[in-house]
């Protein structure tokens, strides 16, 4: 059974740092790019960051320079290091696996999702 289990969320003050983890099981973690998607309460989905199988990383403009995505293939774990947190970073953070599909061009398929980790940034 595929499982993505996020941890590390919590209440922090503006300017603080926090690291989210996402433990993967039930699939070959090294085979798939991974991503973080967040959702503020009552709001839509916002893509945050993406890491390829080879370790290339991409970020939303809103977190560029403050957040760092990484993966530890030996531990089947995805991370999101969040620095200089702001109130607007308050959200549920989901990790998701891109199982992908290529037929000529390649398409992203975010088919595996965690249950989400709540990050609250407030003084």
Selected from 9, 76, 116, 120, the binder of another protein by CB under 8 A is 116
CB-neighbour burial class of residue 82 (10 A; exposed 0-12, middle 13-18, buried 19+): buried
DSSP state of 62: T
CA atoms within 13 A on the CB side of 76: 13
Binding segment (CB under 8 A) for another protein, from list 23-31, 53-61, 68-76, 80-88: 53-61
Residue number, 6 or 12, with CB nearest to another protein: 6
Distance CA 53, CA 56 (A): 8
Judge contact between 23 and 77, C-beta under 8 A. yes
Question: In the complex with another protein, which residue's Cβ is closer, 60 or 83?
Answer: 60
Binding of another protein by 107 (CB under 8 A): yes
Contact positions toward another protein, by CB under 8 A?
A: 35, 37, 44-47, 50, 58-61, 94, 96, 101, 103, 105, 107-111, 113-116
């Amino acid at each position: 059974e595929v499982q993505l289990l996020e941890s590390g969320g919590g209440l922090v003050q503006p300017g603080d740092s926090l690291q989210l983890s996402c433990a993967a099981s039930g699939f070959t973690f090294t085979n798939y790019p991974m991503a973080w998607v967040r959702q503020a309460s009552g709001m839509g989905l916002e893509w945050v960051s993406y890491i390829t199988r080879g370790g290339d990383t991409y970020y939303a403009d809103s977190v560029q320079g403050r957040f760092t995505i990484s993966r530890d293939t030996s531990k089947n774990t995805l991370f999101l290091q969040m620095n200089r947190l702001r109130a607007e970073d308050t959200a549920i953070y989901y990790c998701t696996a891109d199982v992908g599909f290529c037929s000529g061009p390649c398409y992203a398929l975010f088919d595996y999702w965690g249950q989400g980790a709540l990050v609250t940034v407030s003084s």
